[in-house]
Chains A and B, each alone.
Chain A
């Protein structure tokens, strides 16, 4: 297997863009990715494309989305495939693209994610968002996605003494970060009180515990080690990566305060990278709901379960802390265009490692190793990537 590096990345702002369709969003991120390659890249150098998306544009089935999007940017003959693993679609697109390059199938590959969530009424959005859990038994209990994570939160609170206020601190932190990110959907600071007094969604969650529905796209360009120099002198290598899966329904899992899929994915990624969690300088983790970030701390090995609450309490995961988490604002504040999220995380890590965070106040200083973590549904799938700046 060959080593694989990111040579460029692009991402649309996340939010509500009534004038932009799925093709326009993809094209916007694509253009930025192409232009971000230091020494330039001709689009036709891309040999394969993997594009993550859940709704394929509008909440309705649409076949062959990936060649459609590639055709839109003038690359109809690049072999392209859509990848779907709910909220981890982008992460799994990235996984497939890395493997395509690592295995020698191609030298330059594109990984992308795109989601257009704001085109449909909230009722219809709820219909297709519901596909991502175990529809037959979870959803038909009247449970929403927020509800599933709320059940996890209640159990976590019971088992580890996590308080409602501590949970809110995840949102407060990520909004603090998101405020500095020009591409974030919500750029406002909030307080614990804001969270607690928000409109109830699913006990214990208020609307401030939940990531928004968003439009957005992200594109990552990957290259094999032997050809990196053609495109850049500042590659970011993917030194470890792993994926994991689990039963979709919470009811089928032995523990609901830990995601086995994440543990599986991160264990593989750390082993491949030959490092321990202590060597991670910063991370973008999947915080679709506040509790999800707390779970991620434990499952990514940032601390033992229960003890991870301290990371938040002592500000260690804030920008400037020992291990900044979600400096982009995370899904919570940056936005969560389902299929785009995994590649958007890679975009953030890539730019942070190269000192290209745009707004200097949000730049993490001297970071060398970053991690991104993308979860499908409520832990049915997960993908973890470890990146290192080289040169």
Chain B
């Protein structure tokens, strides 16, 4: 199974998946998520500190995955939901992240809509539930 993410691999990133812990480069101030060994801005390889990201941001772009096209881990979800939206979010702190958009999904998704991170089940494999971040549209703040 080519793209299978093992449970140990998943677990090593729970801090990021469960609550958006990013890195801040002490050299240039760049906020990095998901964490990397090298700073994307200045190339520094050390002196990073962990930062808790706010989980708030705006929709930078989006798509809606049709049921039949979902990756295998999501085929059950696709079968139940029919189709599900995925958004690229630009967080307040700068980094962009990709995640699903949860209900209630607005009738029309628009770039720029404010969103907030929520913790949800991502999928279940080997009977183990993988939890992680998704986003919901903040109402009344458009």
Contact = CB atoms under 8 A, between A and B. Distances in A.
Direct touch of chains A and B (CB < 8 A): yes
Interface of A: 59-60, 123, 126-128, 130-131, 135-144, 146-147, 150-155, 158, 199-205, 247, 249-252, 256
A137 B97 contact: yes
9 smallest beta-carbon distances between A and B, as pairs = A128-B2, A150-B63, A130-B3, A155-B61, A203-B64, A200-B66, A142-B74, A141-B98, A251-B96
A141 B102 CA distance: 12
**Most chain A beta carbons < 10 A, residue from B1, B3, B63, B123:** B63
B100 A202 contact: no
Given A126-B71, A137-B97, A251-B88, A143 B9 contact: no
Contacts of B77: 142
Interface string B58-80: 00111111101111111101000
Contact of B64 (A59, A128, A131, A202): A202
A158 B3 contact: no
B29 interface: no
26 contacts: A123-B72, A127-B1, A130-B71, A135-B5, A140-B130, A140-B132, A141-B98, A141-B100, A142-B70, A142-B84, A142-B123, A143-B63, A143-B98, A144-B65, A144-B70, A150-B63, A151-B62, A151-B63, A153-B63, A154-B63, A202-B66, A202-B69, A204-B63, A249-B98, A251-B95, A252-B96
B61 A154 contact: yes
A161 to B, nearest CB: 13
Contacts of A153: 63
Interface range on chain B (Cβ under 8 Å from partner): 35 or more
A154 B110 CA distance: 10
B124 to A, nearest CB: 13
Contacts of B113: none
B15 interface: no
Interface string B83-94: 110101000000
A61 to B, nearest CB: 8
Interface of B: 1-5, 9, 13, 34, 40, 60-66, 68-75, 77, 83-84, 86, 88, 95-100, 111, 122-123, 130, 132
A138 B75 CA distance: 16
Given A147-B86, A150-B63, A202-B69, A140 B75 contact: no
B2 A251 contact: no
Nearest to A155: B61
B61 A256 contact: yes
Given A142-B86, A155-B111, A136 B69 contact: no
Nearest to B32: A252
A135 B72 CA distance: 13
B65 A151 contact: no
A212 B108 CA distance: 29
A204 B64 CA distance: 8
B100 A142 contact: yes
Nearest to A133: B3
Contacts of A136: 5, 9, 13, 34
A141 B69 CA distance: 13
Contacts of B96: 250-252
Contacts of A247: 40
A201 B70 CA distance: 9
Contact of A128 (B3, B40, B100): B3
Contact of B61 (A142, A146, A151): A151
